[in-house]
Structure 1
Amino acid sequence: MATLHPKSILSTRELTKTYQSGDHSLTVLDRVSIDVPEGATAAIVGPSGSGKTTLLGLCAGLDRSTSGSVELGGQNISGFNEDQRAKLRSESVGFIFQNFQLMPTLTALENVLVPGELSGTSNGSLIDRAAALLERVGLGERKEHYPNQLSGGEQQRVAIARAFIHQPKILFADEPTGNLDEEASALVETMLFDLNRESGTALVIVTHDLDLAEKASLVFRLKGGKLIE
């Protein structure tokens, strides 16, 4: 019987990013090929300057590669223009950042609803889903609080709820626990992996935290812009 291989939600082939500065070129990512199956968890690790965040940005369609290809959700996005990449991100991709990136003038509930407002799909059912997600991350009683009334860990949990509001196929997290203390980090990590299992959303994490990386089913190690074994 033939072995069934899980379908990839994310694939890169020979992905390269080079920056030009005068007569000199700097290659920050050098022919990187990775595959992340649907619903999988993956960590991208490596020292500072190894190309981790560059790889994340290219995979998420936030930037364009110099050469190579990215296939996201079954679509080769390498030739997409910015409008096409933005549409794909709004429909299929969630993001979590180290510095939370919440809107300070919006409540927790309103922050979770921001992706819906941006895409013009905010409605009663989305508000109900946002409230349910805040309940899920333990902030149901704090949905009317503003970011400055929340701890760092609570703000990141709001960001997690926001990232899942549109039930993305893949979630990219850039150092999601980098600004949190040990207790808050552990809680955020647990919620990320729990929501990954419950929703089937693939999770790709850039992290310096090797303990966090070991919880992922796949680990991609970068050094000097290259993928190493």
Structure 2
Amino acid sequence: MLLLAVDTATPAVTVALHDGRSVVAEAHQVDARRHGELLLPSVDRVLAEAGLKLDAVTGVVVGVGPGPYTGLRVGLVTAATFASVLDVPLHGLCTLDGLAYAAGQTGVEGPFVVATDARRKEVYWARYEDPRTRTGGPAVDRPAEIAEQVAGLPAVGAGALLYPEVFPDVRGPEHQSAAALASLAAEKLAAGEEFLPAQPLYLRRPDAQVPKNYKVVTPK
């Protein structure tokens, strides 16, 4: 087994290779505006570090969000292209599940909340009983609107750091990790568990919209 995992649903452009036992290589950069520019070089980097070629990959894992439209699309389209060209399975996982799993690796047990930045003064969030069990969400809300639901719970993720009045007990990790996503996928494959379709979890309309009162110009 050799899983290639990618996730661009958050500001982190993150890639990892997992051989079914452990992560053999990973690359991680945080830049919310350069997903398309950074992703393919990151894939090349992890393959070179592992001393492997792309055709050694037996499965592709992708974080399906929730996340902003543009960044999320980069990872999904790239993962789908790799899976199609290589003729290997494509496995979708909730990005927040990857963060929850990574939190478990740092000692967070649960219950807890994962929150990422959704912009527009909102967060994408989900509640977890433990690092492998999501009990609510994912959803997108203004932090003040969910204050009662998350009161008293530790929180994980960059979104929680932005709103300390709602998430006073923030723990690591801050950003998504494809290494954690790949490890979670390897566990699920070994246990025969199902994956999500590799379709984007936007949870709301795209930020970019056609301007109001748009004037259509037609040839004379």
Q: Same fold (TM over 0.5)?
A: no
State TM-score, norm by structure 2: 0.26
